[in-house]
Structure 1
Amino acid sequence: MWFTLNICLYLSFSFILAASILRSDMCQLQGHFRLNGMYKNGDFIFGGLFDVNFLTVFPELSFRTEPEPPYCEQFDMESFQQAQTMAFAIDEINKNPNMLPNITLGYHVYDNCMMLGMAFRAAISLASGTEEFFSNQNCTGPTPVIGIVGDSSSTASIAISSILGLFRVPIVSHYATCSCLSDRKKYPSFFRTIPSDAFQVRAMVQILKYFGWTWVGLIYSDDDYGIYAAQSFHQEMQLFGGCVAFSEILPHDNNYRDIQHITAVIQASTARVVVVFSTPSFLIPLLDAVVLQNMTGRQWIASEAWATSLVNHAPRLFSFLRGTLGIAIRRGEIQGLHEFLLRLYSSNDPKNNMLRIFWEKMFGCSFETGSKETDGEQVKKVCTGQEDLSTTDTPYTDVSELRASYNVYKAVYALAHALHDLMQCEEGRGPFHGNSCADITNLKPWQLVHYLQKVNFTTGFGDHVSFDENGDALPIYDVMNWQPGSDGSIRVQAVGVVNEEAATGMVLTLDDDALYWNFESKQIPRSVCSESCPPGTRRASRKGLPICCFDCLPCRDGLISNTTDANECTVCPDEFWSNPDRDQCVPKEVEFLSYEDPLGISLTTASLLGTCFCALVMVIFTHHRNTPIVRANNSELSFLLLLSLKLCFLCVLLFIGQPQRWTCQLRHAVFGISFVLCISSILVKTMVVIAVFKSSRPEGKSALKWFGAAQQRCTVLVLTAIQVVICAVWLSTASPTPHKNNQYIRSKIVYECAIGSVAGFSMLLGYIGLLAAVSFMLAFLARNLPDNFNEAKFITFSMLIFCAVWIAFVPAYVSSPGKYAVAVEIFAILASSFGLLVAIFAPKCYIILLHPERNTKKAIMGRDTQKK
């Protein structure tokens, strides 16, 4: 029953209330906010939101009465100057006959107290108006403001734009830099005359890149400005190739333990550069902790939010913050602003209570209710006993560093130019539906947004103002350096400029000589996790650490790196190799057995000696050709054998020197034919020895007739002709050719003769081996024949040497690289040739030259008779 009764009472009350509203033809304001502001009437009103006070006080709550609205304290002169700059710009526009003729601009400026709640209340008041009643049943009509300048905070701008953007109210911020506000889908009517954090971060990274600081710490405030800036910074550092050594958040509640943790991280880190994205209010507790812990040896990089802030210029911080580098928004000059600021009036009008607060808070003045407006100079004189404001040096009257105020000036003019362009519209050529123009008597904010997007003008200071598709202004920054003043204080000095150019991108210009470094060495500090890897090395990441922490490993043979901090070594082309420093590819050394090489000289000498020995033996045999020992050993075959050995020694010369096509073809052919001629002669000599022995027996008298001089010559010729045929077929089908071989030694090009056909080369060697094996077997069987000077014994010994050398040659040749393979082959030729020469002819020369008494038929036959 009680529930039903309550519902009935509620519905009855609601019906009565609705009926009373419907009967009324007035729209009533549902609530009021306590806001500090300035007001000037006009045909069109521009709104403004500024941080005139930076502390919000909330009265004590009581559940017995309606809560009192919060109020603001701690007046900020710089922000008040910004608000006055807006008033000056509107006043200047009203006086300009060429802009908005017959139109008077007004303004309504509110203090947001540097708090989101207060900023939101002020924005709602600007959008809805503050009139108690609105005489229109549908609550339609001209909007209270057609555009808003502000807010300076990114967080407040996000919240305000999210709501007012639904109604397309143009908002032009002079200080909100969060890159998130560039999202046109979320914030369709937001513009700004300050570059976004995306550009700010890129500008700061340009400074890091300029000085080679790849290992930096990051500290950012726990608000939208700091969080979004930190995200952009991480992305830009990855593109730059740098690393963030640590990333810490400054708490919004200034928690002591969090601050202590951050300072401990800074001290423990090897990073000497610390980048800070924060507003001064967040930063002060951290700087106080830095002073308490006497933390020196750090290079601070300031974001634009505090790069020029005097809040941090307390004497206790001088020794720690000197040398700080930062970027600041573009400094400008505004003609006539200083005089305007000095002509400050006060009023008791509630809408203009910001002026009254200025005099009360800053100069202790008090005003009685209902007093008339008084000249600021007179008020100043009454309150402080001084003549005018110009004698007081305050941030309010200081126009030497107009940065935020200059952006306010540009924002007001951007709205004014958009309104001026809107009024120049010709009916039938307008941008709206049906080529219509905006109705000046009922101007909608969204119509101004269209023209604001196309604004393009130049300020009196010479700066170009326009907006891109995201509502962002042309990015340009001053690079600031905190330097010690003559009085021991800190002065912020401009030392360079960073601006965005369409052709070249972000460009940094610095005056290196004007920089001050707060280090004992007075030199640029180093802040890298690992020193750069020089050319000739590559970077190898350390496991578990960022990419900026690495080791430098030398490039392997054949690979180079000719840049600093190369991630990979590059492979040299086939005919090039890395130099000893591994930073350049040089032509590979061409290796072959040359006549200038010590090994080539030695082998050439051995070849010529062997040839000379053969010639000497031939001379000896020719001179003693009629002696029994020469005649008994078949002198014709002996001379043929000496000739073939001489060819064997001389063919070595074809293996030495740079391979040519003709030398590659001749070397193996001459080698094969010479040795077959040599082995054929030995084979025939062996067969003759056996035939002679058998002919001495009754049953073998007919054996010798088969081994006459003609048969001997024919046998040698036939055996040699077979090798000639093998060589001819080989050379005609797959001829050996010069070849640059990179496989044996990768660092060198081995110039060698490719055999062309393995089968041809194998047949050549195999045929030689076959004849040598047959000769060895026959000589071995005849080694014990009874004779005073048994030729078969010497042939056996010579063929044993020959076979041993060539059997050992095969594995040695296969395992020898480059020119040493050729040297092994030459050594085998020389060794086997010398073996044959010494084993067969040395004993004979020994008897001929040293024991001529034994070189007689009687001596030879005598031993034979004695044995029998």
Structure 2
Amino acid sequence: MVPPDQYQIRAIIDLLIHYNWTYVSIVASSGPTFISVMKEFKKEAQHHNICIATTVVMCYREDYTQDIMNLQKHSRARVVVMFVNLSDLEHFLANASASFTWVVNTTWGSAEKIVEKYHKAVGRVIGVDTQSYPLPRINEHFMRFYDKLQKQKKNVSVFYRLMGKKKKRAVHQKGRIMKREAKEEFRSSPKIQFVVNAVYAIAHALQNMSSSTCPNMSADCVREHNDTFMMFLRKTRFTAPVSPPDVQYTVRFDEDGYGPARYNIFTIQEINGRKQYQQIGYWTEKLTLNTSHSMWENETVPQSRCSEPCQVHHKREIVLGNPCCWDCEECAKNEVVINENTCKACDSGHWPDKDHNNCSKLPVDYIRWGDGLAIGSLCFSGLGILSTIFVGGVLLWNNNTPIVKASGREFCYILLSGVLLLYFMTFTFIARPSVVICGLRRLGLATSFAICYSALLTKTNRITRIFNSAQKGIAPPRYINLVSQLSICLALITCQILGLVIWLIVDPAEVIEIPSPNNQILILKCKSGDIRILLSLVYNVLLILLCTVYAFKTRKYPENFNEAKCIGFTMYTTCIIWLSSVPVFYVTSDDPEVQVTALCTSISLCGLVILGGLFVPKLYIIFCHPEQNVKCNSLKGGSHNEMSCGATGEVLLSH
């Protein structure tokens, strides 16, 4: 009926868990029973991640200073669990430090002598004692037994065993006084309830057995069916004959044959100037504490752990394999804390929340039409589109005038279409990335530049060959007529388009989400990265370099020929824009909005340079000096060349 030690171990473990005491020391008496309980406690503690700082096995002696010093070496283990007999406990606590909190097994119980001897016990001792309650009928029975002995004048030694020394001395001094004191002070053993319950359990088992197996309840029948009796005994379940007030105490046995385990949790408090035990809770398969009773000084629960809890976003690094001792290590910025010992990186496009417990998808961002930089780029591009349309309209209106014809009308319109497409590219770079938009960007940007610079290259190449042949006095070179020139220009443009189409087939357009450098947002971008965009423009760089070379070669041509000078100015300025745009494009890669704005501005500037360098002089003559927009004829070497002659003597070669 008395609960086994494993239950008091569970009660102590639950008490340690309740107060979060994960690092404790153990003091045990040297007897085999205490050593066995201590070993079982260690196993159970390890199962609940409670670590043992040190173990002290007590051998009886007068001075326990060395044992106390051993406990003090482990300064972080402020709680000591004790499995000791009462004699060792008395001497040990006499030398004990008040800095520890003592958790004592049922051996201590609620012994009054501990309260008397251990003056540091207040707020520092927690005792686990088997739950007991007074049995008035037992007390009355033994007092009647004593009276009977007195009347019969028989030996009262049996009764002495039920009484303390004070009562025994009173018997020898004066019988009447002893009898009165016995009635007033007699208290039965707290374990007597288990004896009563055991007797009733056997009685219930025999009664149940008599109804089925041994109706006559003979001794022979009971001996013959011993196993059956044990079965009935294990199944016995009844209400205790004597229970505490307002408590329904049920007697039963578990699968191992043990009776119910009930423990009271005590602490020593000073009440009205007197140290005494105060119950603060109980344990019946689970711990129940009365939190209204504050047993700690300043109402602060003492700490007993090897390491402090880690801060948010930190994990534990176990020290020397001890699960209770660790160093705290901060997790990486992109990691969340999976458990106390593990950090895990978030997937791409995700980032830890503020508590670093879960990964959340980053918000998606992209340049929008209403952003300030986007509005500036769109306005610049819009003005360029209007300017290009205006120039094209003026040239169409003056399509048959010498200034337009002498400049090569078809190439002018090809150039203007390329410039117009350049300005429209700003809208594709500002638009929200999609598969279609990404495809248009990859095809449109390089194609726009190819249209512009293929026309200029064809034109500068033609001028160079014409003047070179004229200076050498040889026949005009081949492939300088309109059809040949247009074919060459279209062939150059086609090469770029074919390359872009093949690239798009091999590597299809795709929209991706890329974390920003600070991992605060996801940037919605096209799959083709910055390097791929620049690689797609390599062909255009080659065209620009060739145009610049031809423009440089024609710098010393006759002063009255102004077309080469305009082309040279355009190409020199274009080279400067391209050389400055590439570094800016890479430097601003951390800020997509600024990068797109810089790219759009560079594109628009290239279109502006072409309009300003090649077409503004023509508009100037058309609007400001129409008298120069006349033609004259000259004969040279039997050939007839038509030229546009102005008052200033400037001449533009016609085709």
In the TM superposition, 1:428-507 aligns within 5 A as: 439=220, 452-460=233-241, 461=243, 462-490=248-276, 492-500=277-285, 507=286
In the TM superposition, 1:61-140 aligns within 5 A as: none
Partner of 2:432: 658
* Matched residue count: 625
1:643 is the counterpart of 2:417: yes
The Cα of 1:223 is off from its aligned counterpart by 2.1
SS at structure 2 position matched to 1:473 = coil
1:236 is the counterpart of 2:44: yes
Partner of 2:479: 706
Q: Unaligned stretches of 5+ in structure 2? A: 629-644
1:213 is the counterpart of 2:21: yes
Root-mean-square deviation over aligned CA pairs: 4.5
Partner of 1:246: 54
Alpha-carbon displacement from aligned partner over 1:170-212 (angstroms, at most 9, x marks no partner): xxxxxxxxxxxxxxxxxxxxxxx23222221221121222222
Whole-angstrom CA distance in 2 between matches of 1:844 and 1:484: 105
Partner of 1:536: 313
Whole-angstrom CA distance in 1 between matches of 2:376 and 2:47: 62
Name the % identity.
24
**2:93 counterpart (280, 283, 287):** 287
Deviates more, 1:607-616 or 1:846-855: 846-855
| Conservation of the 8 A alpha-carbon contact between 1:194 and 1:407 | yes
Whole-angstrom CA distance in 2 between matches of 1:737 and 1:586: 24
**2:290 counterpart (511, 514, 531):** 511
| Counterpart residue identity of residue 254, structure 2 | D
Larger RCO: 1 or 2 (CA < 8 Å, sep 6+): 2
SS at structure 2 position matched to 1:489 = strand
SS at structure 2 position matched to 1:313 = helix
| Counterpart residue identity of residue 289, structure 1 | N
Partner of 1:11: none
Whole-angstrom CA distance in 2 between matches of 1:453 and 1:351: 40
| Conservation of the 8 A alpha-carbon contact between 1:780 and 1:793 | no
Distance 1:639-1:826 versus aligned 2 partners, 3 A rule = farther
Deviates more, 1:765-774 or 1:343-352: 343-352
The Cα of 1:339 is off from its aligned counterpart by 0.4
Whole-angstrom CA distance in 2 between matches of 1:438 and 1:301: 48
Whole-angstrom CA distance in 1 between matches of 2:513 and 2:649: 61
Alpha-carbon displacement from aligned partner over 1:708-763 (angstroms, at most 9, x marks no partner): 3444344333433444444555556653122234598765433222249x99x899
Whole-angstrom CA distance in 1 between matches of 2:561 and 2:46: 93
Partner of 2:323: 547
1:737 is the counterpart of 2:524: no
In the TM superposition, 1:173-188 aligns within 5 A as: none
| Conservation of the 8 A alpha-carbon contact between 1:797 and 1:839 | no
Whole-angstrom CA distance in 2 between matches of 1:455 and 1:392: 37
**TM-score scaled by structure 2?**
0.79
1:785 is the counterpart of 2:557: yes
Partner of 2:524: 751
**1:670 counterpart (430, 439, 444):** 444
The Cα of 1:289 is off from its aligned counterpart by 0.5
The Cα of 1:649 is off from its aligned counterpart by 2.3
The Cα of 1:681 is off from its aligned counterpart by 1.3
| Counterpart residue identity of residue 277, structure 1 | F
| Conservation of the 8 A alpha-carbon contact between 1:799 and 1:836 | no
| Conservation of the 8 A alpha-carbon contact between 2:78 and 2:303 | yes
Whole-angstrom CA distance in 2 between matches of 1:352 and 1:551: 67
| Conservation of the 8 A alpha-carbon contact between 1:363 and 1:383 | no
Deviates more, 1:222-231 or 1:631-640: 631-640
Whole-angstrom CA distance in 2 between matches of 1:363 and 1:841: 125
Whole-angstrom CA distance in 1 between matches of 2:52 and 2:222: 56
SS at structure 2 position matched to 1:668 = helix
Whole-angstrom CA distance in 2 between matches of 1:789 and 1:235: 103
Whole-angstrom CA distance in 1 between matches of 2:525 and 2:546: 33
| Conservation of the 8 A alpha-carbon contact between 1:682 and 1:775 | yes
The Cα of 1:590 is off from its aligned counterpart by 1.6
Distance 1:846-1:222 versus aligned 2 partners, 3 A rule = farther
Partner of 1:51: none
The Cα of 1:627 is off from its aligned counterpart by 8.9
The Cα of 1:337 is off from its aligned counterpart by 0.9
Whole-angstrom CA distance in 2 between matches of 1:356 and 1:479: 31
The Cα of 1:599 is off from its aligned counterpart by 4.8
Q: Unaligned stretches of 5+ in structure 1? A: 1-192, 367-378, 431-436, 501-506
SS at structure 2 position matched to 1:525 = coil
| Counterpart residue identity of residue 499, structure 1 | T
Whole-angstrom CA distance in 1 between matches of 2:647 and 2:50: 100
Partner of 2:110: 308
| Conservation of the 8 A alpha-carbon contact between 2:470 and 2:476 | no
**2:369 counterpart (578, 595, 604):** 595
| Conservation of the 8 A alpha-carbon contact between 1:250 and 1:283 | no
Partner of 1:556: 332
Whole-angstrom CA distance in 1 between matches of 2:61 and 2:9: 25
| Counterpart residue identity of residue 27, structure 2 | I
Distance 1:476-1:827 versus aligned 2 partners, 3 A rule = same
Alpha-carbon displacement from aligned partner over 1:646-701 (angstroms, at most 9, x marks no partner): 31122122012321222122222222321221112111221232244246457444
SS at structure 1 position matched to 2:324 = coil
Partner of 2:612: 841
SS at structure 2 position matched to 1:670 = helix
Whole-angstrom CA distance in 1 between matches of 2:125 and 2:164: 36
Distance 1:600-1:499 versus aligned 2 partners, 3 A rule = farther
| Counterpart residue identity of residue 675, structure 1 | F
Partner of 1:226: 34
Alpha-carbon displacement from aligned partner over 1:605-658 (angstroms, at most 9, x marks no partner): 544454455457667878998998766544542343233123112212201232
Whole-angstrom CA distance in 2 between matches of 1:832 and 1:860: 35
SS at structure 2 position matched to 1:478 = strand
Distance 1:271-1:485 versus aligned 2 partners, 3 A rule = same
| Conservation of the 8 A alpha-carbon contact between 2:121 and 2:268 | no
Whole-angstrom CA distance in 2 between matches of 1:765 and 1:222: 88
The Cα of 1:566 is off from its aligned counterpart by 2.2
SS at structure 2 position matched to 1:533 = coil
Distance 1:566-1:288 versus aligned 2 partners, 3 A rule = same
Deviates more, 1:653-662 or 1:834-843: 834-843
| Counterpart residue identity of residue 342, structure 2 | E
In the TM superposition, 1:714-863 aligns within 5 A as: 714-728=487-501, 731=504, 735-741=508-514, 748-755=521-528, 765-789=537-561, 791-792=563-564, 795=567, 798-799=570-571, 802=574, 820=592, 824=595, 827=598, 830-831=601-602, 834-835=605-606, 837-838=608-609, 841-842=612-613, 845=616, 857=645, 861=649
The Cα of 1:860 is off from its aligned counterpart by 6.4
Distance 1:516-1:270 versus aligned 2 partners, 3 A rule = same
1:201 is the counterpart of 2:9: yes
In the TM superposition, 1:681-696 aligns within 5 A as: 681-694=455-468, 696=470
Partner of 1:426: 213
| Conservation of the 8 A alpha-carbon contact between 2:349 and 2:522 | yes
| Conservation of the 8 A alpha-carbon contact between 2:210 and 2:216 | no
Distance 1:353-1:440 versus aligned 2 partners, 3 A rule = farther
**2:68 counterpart (248, 254, 263):** 263
Distance 1:817-1:365 versus aligned 2 partners, 3 A rule = same
Whole-angstrom CA distance in 1 between matches of 2:91 and 2:535: 94
SS at structure 1 position matched to 2:195 = helix
| Counterpart residue identity of residue 301, structure 1 | V
**TM-score scaled by structure 1?**
0.62
| Counterpart residue identity of residue 531, structure 1 | E
Whole-angstrom CA distance in 2 between matches of 1:222 and 1:815: 77
SS at structure 1 position matched to 2:135 = coil
1:329 is the counterpart of 2:115: no
Whole-angstrom CA distance in 1 between matches of 2:279 and 2:520: 56
